[in-house]
Structure 1
Amino acid sequence: MSVLVASWRVLTQERARPARLRAWPHAWWLAVATVCFGAFMGQLDASIVTLTYRPLRTGFDTSLAAVQWVSLAYLLTLAAFLIPVGRLADARGRKLLYLYGFVVFTASSAACGLAPTLGMLIAFRVVQGIGAAMLQANSVALVVTSAPEGKTRTALGVQAAAQAVGLALGPTVGGLLVSTWGWRWVFGINVPVGVIAVVAGVFLLPRTRTFTPTSGRDGSGLALLAVATTSGLLGLSAASGLGLPGWAPVALLCVAAGAAVGFVVRERRASAPMLDLALLRARTVSTGLAGALAGYLVLFGPLVLVPIVLTGAGLTELHAGLVLTALPAGFALAATSGERLLPRSWTDRPRAMVGALLCVVALAAMAVAPLTPGWLVASLAALGVALGLFTPANNSLVMRAIPTRTAGTGGGLLNMTRGLGTALGVALVTLALHVRPAGTGLLDGPRTAVLVLLAAAVALLASARMTPRTDDVAHEPAPVADHLV
């Protein structure tokens, strides 16, 4: 019995770092480096999977509408679990949840690489999304609590750089793996990194200093949110050729609308709501979240579109990945060095407006230019720089408008919005390619998809324009590095 009790304590309690390490003045750098493993892998995974679409369609003999759920299942699960997992980490321990997150993420990555059917691959991606939520919900808190006073911004900048590198390398690494070893290694690459991260985290991450007991659970709210988002995207997939009955798209979209209304009603009445709707009353928050959704739609739409266009024209996945790298590379460059690209005296609002305007210009150019590698590299690089200028400024505006006492919830809300925008980018591009296949005239599927992204960029500009000139709530800005890229 004592062995069972001891084993339970080992599994449910955070382990202290070695005393010699805790006494070392620079030990916090090791903790930050450990968190950067998760930051790097999360963004690498986000930008790498779309390179597997063609081999998945061929290997499982299925449609693009079905294959897109390899991305959507992960993104929907991540968005749904970020806020509840963050609350659980505050109550049980951030180090504990972070380490278990890496265990879940690593094990499910291995399972994805071995999946014998598309259905099992999608199921394993759901589990992987849960692990990713456990990582993302805790990363900023671990960085902030590890860094000494006066070093927080430096530590968050390092984490943002790790995310940027992961995002930029994704297309190239994905194209290389698919072209050489096959699509299964796109998931297999996570395994050795995850094992190293778990071992490092046990010894290098600090224990949680303060715990915040949960005031209640909102399972109904979580269920309604999951039904609303999943039904909505299933409706778009049904219209994209998923193989469901003809009445399915309308029925699923009606279910999504009903669940969304139910979610709002539930959150207004719940004693401990998953989402505090009062946060949305501040115009800076509501317009900023709309901008975040549109921004990630614009960012991830091309990650689906470009590989399909280029591989359809006879290029390899490696070539497509190299072309696509221009987008996340431009994003990473601007997101991490935006202070030097625009006048230092500019506040976040004009920075966001300039980035949004450049998004419109870049996509307008892509809409009229040939979708060939040379033109795409130039357009994607410009689009990446534009989004890299817009996103940090927009997210900073949102986080400053949220009271410090609810900064954790606000960060989860921003991450959730980002996930939904990413999922919409995947779904809408797939829908455009299905409704208007390539080669069906001047306004074929790829060109229609670009126009959809252009419309989202216009919405992006409108949201930036509608943002108040002064913050709705004035206080010190909350950490936002986890939302930079």
Structure 2
Amino acid sequence: MKPVIAGPTEAVAGSAQQMPAARLALASLSLSMLLSSLGISIANVGLPTLAQAFDASFQDVQWVVIAYLLAITTLIVSVGRLGDLMGRRRLLLAGIFLFTLASALCGLAPSLELLIAARALQGLGAAIMLALTMAFVGETVAKAKTGSAIGLLGSMSAIGTALGPSLGGVLIAGFGWQAIFLISVPLGALALLLARLYLPADRQTPKAERGGFDPLGTLLLALTLAAYALAMTMGRGLDMALLLVAGVGIGLFVWVEARVASPLIRLALFRDPLLSGSLAMSALVSTVMMATLVVGPFYLSDGLGLDAARVGLTLAVGPFVAALTATPAGRIADRFGAQRMTIVGLVGMAAACLLLALLPERLGIGCYIAPLVVLTMGYALFQTANNTAVMADVPANQRGVIAGMLNLSRNLGLITGASAMGAVFVFASATRDITTAHPQAVASGMRVTFAVALALVATALAIALASRALARRMGRVA
């Protein structure tokens, strides 16, 4: 019996049937990204209410945020690798289910300790969602549309970040603190349903090609990242000891990875100039972006004398611009080349940092918002193009771990920026208590901080040009 060959009409019909499924699969990934980002920003606004509800100190309720971020930071590479081994669809479904279940547990928690434990569990679900949504892009859209899909995920991440404070405030005022966690339950259920129905099935890869899991490397990396994250977020005299632990941990991790048969991260990956350069740039640029969140509130309130409402509206400009820019940035990266647009994004960020470093405070809020918009647009273009340049050519059996590494580099940059850029700001302001500093001292601190940010962006730009030149010599860039 001869095989039936589909003609043009049947091929078009099959393609038409696949398009809605692909869009719904992308919708499930977008919703997963939105929920992961919302889980960070929506909890911050609830900290004062949680302190009152549980009669706890601010330092204690901060662990509601820290536990979530710590789980994501320490586990995101490991869960990405686990997805490569056991099947990304299966693990992503488990991650969405875990996130949804943990959201319910958070809303029903009778004590602060149980709430923190549930948030850590929610962070594990979020780590799986963050790592595997980007890894799934290569299986849901054509390679030529990779930038557009990654840009859409970037937009959803920015929307989740921007939506959290305002949505959280409304929910707390109307329904109590439990609502900021319970809101994720129906949304998580919808994401789980869409993912189960429309994500492509896992490919059956021979065991010899998959390799094995690396429990020792996973443990060492988790402990190292936990020590570093806690050193950057907690302080209290422990920071140097924790940094020492992190330094020893990374040395042991490299030693182990060079010797095990199936390492968590193959050290040979870092010989790729595009990958190693992209990871370094992502960390540097995320450090810079954190400066806007650390320095911005003090400059706007103490330097320019704005009230709390106008400070909040001004700070919302960044995530709003990112939400509008990321998807078009993906299309631009597809059209003009991801590596070229990475450089363009960095040039835009450098120009914005230069303006902020030279900004006289007498020009007012408008001359702060304009560079902030340029900075955010440059960041959205850079982040989308940088991720696209990496993920477009990643082998299928490495997508999870590479996506996890990209997310990790971004998170480490944000954690470092919160501590390092904050320290630069306080030092440059030449005051012990920044809350009582003179407006001119605050403005001076802001300018110095963004001068340092300019140096970091310039370093990232030099890395981009160098890695592009190396890749061209290797024949990987046109």
TM-score by length of 2: 0.77
Shift of 1:395: 3.3
1:470 is aligned to 2:461: no
Quote the Cα distance in structure 1 between the aligned partners of 2:163 and 2:242.
36
8 Å CA contact retained: 2:349, 2:375: no
8 Å CA contact retained: 1:66, 1:237: no
- From 71, 75, 93, the equivalent of 2:69 is 75
Quote the Cα distance in structure 1 between the aligned partners of 2:147 and 2:181.
32
Q: In the alignment, what sits opposite 1:482?
A: none
Quote the Cα distance in structure 1 between the aligned partners of 2:148 and 2:101.
32
Shift of 1:130: 0.9
Q: In the alignment, what sits opposite 1:232?
A: 228
SS at match of 2:39: helix
Quote the Cα distance in structure 1 between the aligned partners of 2:219 and 2:442.
34
Q: Deviations over 1:161-220 (max 9, x none)?
A: 434433443344344445555544332321120122223333333322334644222222
Q: In the alignment, what sits opposite 2:133?
A: 139
- From 241, 258, 261, the equivalent of 1:271 is 261
8 Å CA contact retained: 1:279, 1:402: no
1:198 is aligned to 2:198: no
8 Å CA contact retained: 2:257, 2:267: yes
The one-letter amino acid of 2:28's match is: T
- Map 1:285-434 to 2 at 5 A: 285-303=275-293, 306=296, 320-338=311-329, 344=336, 347-361=340-354, 363-364=356-357, 369=361, 377-399=369-391, 406-428=398-420
Shift of 1:228: 2.1
> For the structure 1 residues 169 and 353, does the alpha-carbon distance in structure 2 shift closer, same or farther, using more than 3 Å as the test?
same
Q: Deviations over 1:290-332 (max 9, x none)?
A: 221122233345446656887998956x765433220112223
> For the structure 1 residues 455 and 426, does the alpha-carbon distance in structure 2 shift closer, same or farther, using more than 3 Å as the test?
same
Q: In the alignment, what sits opposite 1:215?
A: 211
8 Å CA contact retained: 2:64, 2:116: yes
> For the structure 1 residues 227 and 136, does the alpha-carbon distance in structure 2 shift closer, same or farther, using more than 3 Å as the test?
same
The one-letter amino acid of 1:208's match is: D
Shift of 1:106: 1.3
SS at match of 1:269: coil
The one-letter amino acid of 1:249's match is: D
8 Å CA contact retained: 1:172, 1:322: no
The percent of aligned pairs where both chains have the same amino acid is 31
1:130 is aligned to 2:124: yes
8 Å CA contact retained: 1:327, 1:380: yes
- Map 1:143-158 to 2 at 5 A: 143-147=137-141, 155-156=149-150, 158=152
Shift of 1:105: 0.8
Q: Which runs of 5+ in 1 are unaligned?
A: 1-20, 478-485
8 Å CA contact retained: 2:88, 2:400: no
- From 435, 458, 471, the equivalent of 2:455 is 458
The one-letter amino acid of 1:355's match is: G
SS at match of 2:265: coil
8 Å CA contact retained: 1:80, 1:226: yes
> For the structure 1 residues 397 and 77, does the alpha-carbon distance in structure 2 shift closer, same or farther, using more than 3 Å as the test?
same
Q: Which has the higher helix share?
A: 2
8 Å CA contact retained: 2:74, 2:222: yes
Moved more, 91-100 or 304-313: 304-313
Quote the Cα distance in structure 2 between the aligned partners of 1:227 and 1:179.
38
The one-letter amino acid of 1:140's match is: M
Shift of 1:22: 11
Quote the Cα distance in structure 1 between the aligned partners of 2:477 and 2:165.
36
> For the structure 1 residues 74 and 84, does the alpha-carbon distance in structure 2 shift closer, same or farther, using more than 3 Å as the test?
same
- From 96, 101, 106, the equivalent of 1:107 is 101
- Map 1:38-187 to 2 at 5 A: 38-56=32-50, 67-147=61-141, 155-156=149-150, 158-178=152-172, 181-187=175-181
Moved more, 157-166 or 120-129: 157-166
8 Å CA contact retained: 1:146, 1:206: yes
Quote the Cα distance in structure 2 between the aligned partners of 1:398 and 1:216.
24
The one-letter amino acid of 1:254's match is: L
Q: In the alignment, what sits opposite 2:5?
A: none
The one-letter amino acid of 1:298's match is: V
Shift of 1:363: 4.2
Quote the Cα distance in structure 2 between the aligned partners of 1:22 and 1:334.
29
Alpha-carbon RMSD: 4.1
8 Å CA contact retained: 2:345, 2:380: no
Shift of 1:344: 4.8
| Number of equivalenced pairs | 449
Shift of 1:354: 0.9
The one-letter amino acid of 1:113's match is: G
SS at match of 1:217: coil
> For the structure 1 residues 448 and 47, does the alpha-carbon distance in structure 2 shift closer, same or farther, using more than 3 Å as the test?
farther
Quote the Cα distance in structure 2 between the aligned partners of 1:84 and 1:90.
10
8 Å CA contact retained: 2:146, 2:392: no
Quote the Cα distance in structure 1 between the aligned partners of 2:138 and 2:403.
14
Q: Which runs of 5+ in 2 are unaligned?
A: 1-13
Quote the Cα distance in structure 2 between the aligned partners of 1:151 and 1:252.
43
> For the structure 1 residues 266 and 447, does the alpha-carbon distance in structure 2 shift closer, same or farther, using more than 3 Å as the test?
farther
